Amino acid sequence: MPIKASSTVAAASASASDTPLTPAHFQKLRQRWKATVTGKHMRVNSDDVYYALSKLSGTAEQYIANMQPSRVHIWEDLSPIHLSVNFRKSYERLRTIAQSYSIPGSIHYHDLNVQETVIQSLDFIGSEIYNASVVQAKVDIAILLYDDLTPRRRHDIGATIIKNIGSIGQRSLKGANRADICLALIGAGVITDEEAEVSRGRWCLSDKEYDGENSVFELVQSGEGLYEGGSYLSHEIFPYSGGYGVQHYYSLSKAVNVLSKSPYHINSTELGVTFTAINSTFSPVMWRGMMMGHIRGRDIARKSEPDAFWGNLFLQSLLYFADTELVPLKHRRFFKSVARSIWEAAPLPDLYGLNITQAFGMQKVLEERIPPAAPPIGTFATPMSDRIMHHRPEWAAALAMSSSRIGRYEALNHENLRPWYQGDGFLYVYTDRDPLHFSNDYWPTMDPYHTPGVTNGQNPQGPPAYKFTAHRDWAGGLDWRGTHGLAGLDALSTDKGSSAKKSWFFLLNSIIALGAGCAGLSGTEVHTTYESRNLPLSGSNFSINGEYQIMNPGWIKPWEETHAQIDWAYLDSFGGYVFLDKEPISFRREQRKGKWTDINQYPDYLGFSDPITREYLTIYRNHGIDPKDGRYAYALLPSASSEETREFATTPPVNITHNTPRLQAIQFNNTVMANFWSGGTIGYLTAVTPCSITWGYSGVEDKYLTISVSDPTQKATRIVLFLNDPDIGGVAERDDSIQLRWGRAGQTGSVTITINVEGTHGKTHRVSFERISWRGTLESLPWRPPAKETTTSTTATASRRVRPAATKKPLVNNATVTSAKIGHKPVTAKQKTGTVRKPSVGTVKTVKPVKPNLKTAEPSPRTSGHSTGTLGPEAVTTSPIPKKHTIHSISLSNIASISVHALNAGVAFLEVIIPRSEPMPWVHIPWLIVILGGYLGVAYITKSTQGFYTYSFLDPNSKGSGITAAYCIGILAGTTILFCIVKGLVYLRVWVTEKKLGMNGKLSKKDVSGETEVTEKLNV
């Protein structure tokens, strides 16, 4: 839960005393700031430190040699200097030279000529325009050369920063931008020895002026910043944890480090949210030391800021926190262990080397022998940003979606100029076989009309707009037990020319992708791209159904031309592809050319205009021109072997149970994962409202049945599920948002589950039930064949029916009713206190009350207390009127569930027409007819519509609501007719059996006086 603003402001107030800053304090602040720029100098005894120092010295020497000062520039290639990009880059070069001047071991260490060169350049450039992007570099240079600058120069530098920052107490300043400005103010105060600026910068971090409304230490509810659940948004609608989020973290960590042990130090109690973000926000979006592309916004279009750049900046933030004395020791050790994990995971340290500060920090970590933290493994959903990450030991995947809440892409300042489908289900897959796949000039050379995971028309798109969200609400999913994931996207392209219902299932060794309702209106072909792989420079073999292909540039091999059926394909640099629906698949290998300036026209990045050529393999499904209901189903097997891929295709471990525009679901092992786009039923579980849901066995030896559910639309107030599973007992665990209402009195197998999702922003909700059949052994696994039929005692049915152990497939749409099994006590002779026999006409029957047997299917002791919001099974009460019918247990594992509906309907019909006991009171007849009509109606709809049936009338398909309404009217009419027919038949039976032949008729008994004696009249 987010920390309240008032709490953090109070903590901040307690963290800083009223002690004024003394000259000694300012001297200490400058020393700490300098250490953040140059590192804490240690002996150079590691390759990384030596490499970083050599690289720094060499770069500085090159900058010095290329200086050509004039009235309009310092470097000729950065002329004129008043241009924003040239102004910023000039300051960055001067900072590099100042670093080399300040670090022992550098060839420029305390070189007076270098000192004079930097100071003269500062005098020249300081008279030019101000640019907010240069503040950090300007402060760094002034502090590195503090003792060499005159008081007037120091004052002028600080005053320029303070003047141009202006008022920072505005409510609009949030997130990374606020952290940057606050850090710059602190730096300006440290340069000029002005405590007022240090104080202003420090309290700006906490937003003390507005009681913490925009504090950088807290979670936010809207706009810029860090959200609960691991999301980080910038510019209000763009996921940006890998860009602005890292910058936010970097500036904050530097401020915490510099202010440590000063009167304005930041207390660790303020940093709770910040520390938690390491695991919830940043670690899940990193792969081998690099920030993934789906959370970097327009930064992906910057050649000079690749994924490793942001990974190293995050590493430096961890090292700043780890070097802060006021941070608790356990946290500092944790930061160091995460930093070491990032450093060791980097695929090519020589190309993506650390800077000098990072190198010195990592040397200290290595010398302390801090072990690396374990990398994240499992599924991580961040519903507030419509992102899902899935990590496995040898590969990782990231899914980028968009909705009415989250922007499709960011294309600000003429950057990221071909982004049209980056938020329409772009599936990033990273593998150890080719860890630099997205770093190898992918973005300027990739095909923007064949984006992996996306379904889109092939019509050309115009210039991208800056800031807009997607058209539809549904985007999101959930994680299952932390190891598996489910995602769904109701996709409608920017120009509304293509649409699809899309689902992804993230499993331990594969990703299953399903699509239905793929449609187009643009007059062009609609493609679903399975893969568009940037091949390694060294090449990669590719095979189809085990046969290697000759892949010359421009190679195109449509499925129709060469194969009767394609089951699988394999790419050495990636892994396997399995085609689950046997539909036509197209393959293409081609050379693609591009330049970084094709996708980035911002002046800062116009220097990267060299042409680039890369080889690509593209796999896609062509749905045709303007399809109406195109579908697809495929599996990705990253890092799998060719043999593993072939085996997966031959005997798939996953069963696709549904792939329609209304329901997409898979079943594997003992688990079902489904996106109910408009409600429906799978096996024992019915979703009344749209939702994403996963359910299956969990715990030691599958002790529990666990259900996880979320609302990807984030618009619903509640989700309603109905579970009718004879194997569930009491509640083992549930979230507070879940309410349960049990069905018939005393029965634990029927429960209505209501989840309050209002205001939960797509969060996953969970409930676990104890399994009656579980007895601490593996005797009752979910996929064992059903036991042989055993007749259930009639006496047992007169009391509460004993629910048998589940020896069936409880999660598929083949409902099976089984008999009693191990762990359930049979009804003993002592319990047979009454017998029920079909009476002869005119005879008398006496029925003794039956004592219910509650031992065999007793609700779990965990529910005896009835937790808040849960209605436990009610106590069973005996009735003077015994139950009149018994539906026998019959195994139907190979018959569709429609057969069960028909069987029950038939038995109910016979019980009404030809009862085996006395006629029931009239009031019970309509109830039986309603049950009969319900069975027949559900059976008819389930069979006839083949999955089209829905409980919701709010179907976006106009035809769907009309058809559903027609079915309901038909059921009502049929029920009315049945009622009339059955009522007539019952009346006829009573008239024949009682008035003509029975108690009042010819067969009634006469006493000695000749009068008719009736032992007991039966009520009709």
For the ranges 562-571, 918-927, 942-951, the maximum mean pLDDT occurs at: 562-571
CA-wise closest residue to 578 among 659, 655, 635: 635
Write the DSSP symbol of residue 353: -
Q: In which element (H, E) is residue 625 found?
A: strand 612-625
CA distance readout (Å), 825 to 241, 512, 707, 816: 57, 43, 29, 21
Digit-coded pLDDT (tens) for 404-423: 999 999 999 999 999 999 99
Distance CA 755, CA 308 (A): 42
812 pLDDT tier (thresholds 50, 70, 90): very low
On the question of pLDDT at 12 being above 60, the answer is no
Write the CA distances from 293 to 422, 640, 821, 823, integer angstroms. Answer: 10, 23, 54, 53
Residue pair 937/971 in contact by the 8 Å Cβ criterion:
yes
pLDDT score recorded for residue 963: 60
* Tokens encoding 226: 């860090």
For residue 584, whether the previous peptide bond is cis, meaning omega lies within 30 degrees of 0, is no
- Give every CB contact of residue 238 below 8 A, 6+ residues apart in sequence: 297, 406, 407, 410
Q: Which residue has the higher pLDDT, 873 or 91?
A: 91
pLDDT at 163: 83
Judging by DSSP bridges, how do beta strands 542-544 and 568-571 pair with one another? antiparallel
> According to the 3-state scheme, what is the secondary structure of 781-808?
CCCCCCCCCCCCCHHHHHCCCCCCCCCC
- Residue 831 pLDDT more than 90? no
8 Å CB contact between 349 and 436: no
Residue whose structure tokens are 């032992």 = 1015
What is the model's pTM? 0.76
Q: Classify 525 as helix, strand or coil.
A: strand
3-state secondary structure string across 818-833:
CCCCCCCCCCCHHHCC
Name the residue among 481, 472, 486, 508 with its Cα closest to residue 675: 486
Judge whether 815 and 887 are in contact, CB under 8 Å.
no
Q: Do residues 587 and 618 make contact, with C-beta atoms less than 8 angstroms apart? A: yes
Asked whether the predicted pLDDT for residue 748 surpasses 90, the reply is no
How long a stretch of residues is the chain? 1020
Name the nearest CA neighbour of 243 among 416, 59, 34, 383: 416
Pairwise CA distance, residues 1015 & 1017, whole Å? 7
DSSP three-state, residue 664: strand
With beta carbons less than 8 A apart as the criterion, state whether 450 and 532 touch: yes
Query: What's the confidence (pLDDT) of residue 131?
Result: 63
Residues 6+ apart with CB under 8 A from 910: none
Please name the residue ranges forming H helices in 654-701: none
Q: How confident is the model at residue 42 (pLDDT cuts 50, 70, 90)?
A: low
Q: Give the helix/strand (H/E) hosting 329.
A: helix 329-345
Cα–Cα distance list, 3 to 174, 241, 272, 276 (Å): 17, 20, 9, 12
Please state, in angstroms and as integers, the Cα–Cα distance from residue 459 to each residue in 27, 310, 374, 586, 990, following that order.
Answer: 63, 34, 45, 18, 74
| SS3 (DSSP) at 699 | coil
**At 783, is the pLDDT very low, low, confident or very high (cuts 50, 70, 90)?**
very low
Instruction: Give the H or E element holding residue 252.
Output: helix 244-259
Backbone φ/ψ region at 800: left (φ over 0), alpha (ψ -120 to 50), beta: beta
DSSP 619: E
At residue 928's C-alpha, the angle toward residues 925 and 931, to 5°, is: 150
DSSP code, position 324: -
Q: Please state, in angstroms and rounded to a whole number, the distance separating the CA atoms of residues 907 and 899.
A: 12
User: Contact 232/288 with Cβ under 8 angstroms?
Assistant: no
DSSP state of 676: E
Position 346: which residue type? A
Q: How far apart are CA 99 and CA 119, in angstroms?
A: 13
Q: Which domains does the chain have, with CATH numbers?
A: 24-376 (1.50.10.100), 379-668 (2.70.98.10), 680-784+801-826+854-878 (2.60.220.10), 896-1020 (no CATH)
Confidence band for 559, pLDDT divided at 50, 70 and 90: very low
- Least reliable range by pLDDT among 1-5, 402-406, 774-778: 1-5
707 has pLDDT over 90:
yes
pLDDT score for 454 = 98
Is residue 324 within 8 A of residue 354, CB to CB? The reply is no
The predicted structure's pLDDT at residue 918? 47
Q: Is the pLDDT of residue 1006 over 80?
A: no
Structure letter (DSSP) for residue 282: I
Q: Which two tokens stand for residue 279?
A: 């695991």
Least confident residue range of 224-228, 435-439, 577-581, 784-788: 784-788
Q: Which of 395, 367, 179 is nearest to 277 (CA)?
A: 179
874-890 per-position pLDDT tens digit: 333 333 333 333 333 33
As a whole number of angstroms, the distance between CA 298 and CA 705 comes to: 44
What is the chain's mean pLDDT, rounded?
Answer: 80
| 8 A C-beta contact, residue 239 and residue 385 | yes
The type of residue at 486 is L
Q: Where residue 909 falls among pLDDT bands split at 50, 70, 90?
A: low
**CA–CA distance, 229 with 767 (Å, rounded to integer):** 19
- How far is residue 558 CA from its own chain's centroid? 34
| Residue-wise pLDDT tens digits, 484-535 | 999 999 999 999 999 999 999 999 999 999 999 999 999 999 999 999 999 9
Q: How many CB atoms lie within 10 A of CB 1018?
A: 16
DSSP per residue over 177-224, as a string?
HHHHHHHHHHHHHHHHT-HHHHHHHHHHHHTGGGTTTT-TTS--SSSS
Other CB atoms closer than 10 Å to residue 22's CB: what's the count?
11
Q: How confident is the model at residue 983 (pLDDT cuts 50, 70, 90)?
A: confident
d(CA 809, CA 816): 8
Better pLDDT: 909 or 200: 200
Cα distances (Å, whole numbers) of residue 630 to 527, 633, 660, 950: 10, 11, 10, 21
pLDDT tens, residue by residue, 606-645: 888 999 999 999 999 999 999 999 999 999 999 999 999 9
Q: How confident is the model at residue 867 (pLDDT cuts 50, 70, 90)?
A: very low
Q: Residue 534: enclosing H or E segment and its boundaries?
A: strand 525-534
CB–CB of 737/677 below 8 Å?
no
Percent of the chain with pLDDT over 90: 57
Buried-exposed string 382-421: b where 16+ CB fall within 10 A, e elsewhere: bbbbbbbbbbbeebbbbbbbbbebbbbbbbeebbbbbbbb
